Amino acid sequence: MVGKVRLSKIDVELQNAQMIMGLDGWVNAGKVSTFSVKYLIGKLNAIRLGEIPQGSFHDYAVQRPFVSIREGLMRSYVPPRSIIYYWRGESGPDLIFILGVEPFMDWPGYAEAVLEVAEVMKVHRIYTLGGYLADVSSEDEVLISSSTNNPELIDDLKKINVVLTNYSGPTSIYSEIMWRSKAKKVDVISLWSAVPMHVDGIYPKAAYQMLKKITSLLGLKLDLTDLKKKAESFRGEFGRRIITQTEMRRLIENMRGRREKRPTYIL
């Protein structure tokens, strides 16, 4: 165990490492954050490296641990935690993944734990992925907005056609991590996808567009055909489902064709 981090393999050495974070909670509308990271972990066969225990960062009264009991015998007990994975790239950068839950308490402590992982694994850049509910239609093009703590990365963001964030207000743990990373000289890029308010559960259309952006920034060649098909299938199924839902259909029709400025905030 290193500080607040438990690593099962302390002899792993990575080159040109970059980190990708996906957290459940407020930052995870449409499951864009966690689904995208789970997809990458599965697609790349990333290896579990350790975890950040969330006992001191979590309010169990808000989100309780998960227990499994079969025929009266307790089989497992899983508290909220952030699992760490790694993957060695053949041509692109080596990657560290953190898949967890946004902490309820001690954001500075959690951010320092993340940066501790970055220091140990020699990570020089962190990507945080998020989704937020917005007044957009599922028929609209997915809007991906972004921010960074390094002005030299703005041109890179413009090249992948994301909207540069304009926002002032309440924020997420991602901003805590981004702000504290400046002192550590670690670059952070935060990518956010707008998710229609009427979508419940995983929104594969947003995850697909998010992964196109992140793989482009990483220089990672990854076949996303299966996810693209999933997104197209979801659109058809969702369309059929709302045909008989009068109020939902009216909501979508009201949003269709709007020309006002789309939201680009980071939560």
pLDDT of 259 reads 44
Strand partners, 100: 23
CATH class, range 6-255: alpha beta
pLDDT values of the chain reduced to their tens digit, one per residue, 267 residues = 455 788 776 678 888 899 999 999 999 999 999 999 999 999 999 999 999 988 889 888 888 889 999 999 999 998 888 999 999 987 678 999 999 999 999 999 999 999 999 999 999 999 999 999 888 877 778 999 999 999 999 999 999 999 999 989 889 999 999 999 999 999 999 999 999 888 878 999 999 999 999 999 999 999 999 999 998 887 655 554 544 555 555 555 555 555 445 555 555
**Do the Cβ atoms of 108 and 29 come closer than 8 Å?**
no
In a 10 Å sphere around its CB, with 0-12 CB exposed, 13-18 middle and 19+ buried, how is residue 128 labelled?
Answer: buried
Q: Is 123 helix (H, G, I), strand (E, B) or coil?
A: strand
The model's pTM: 0.86
Domain ranges of the chain: 6-255
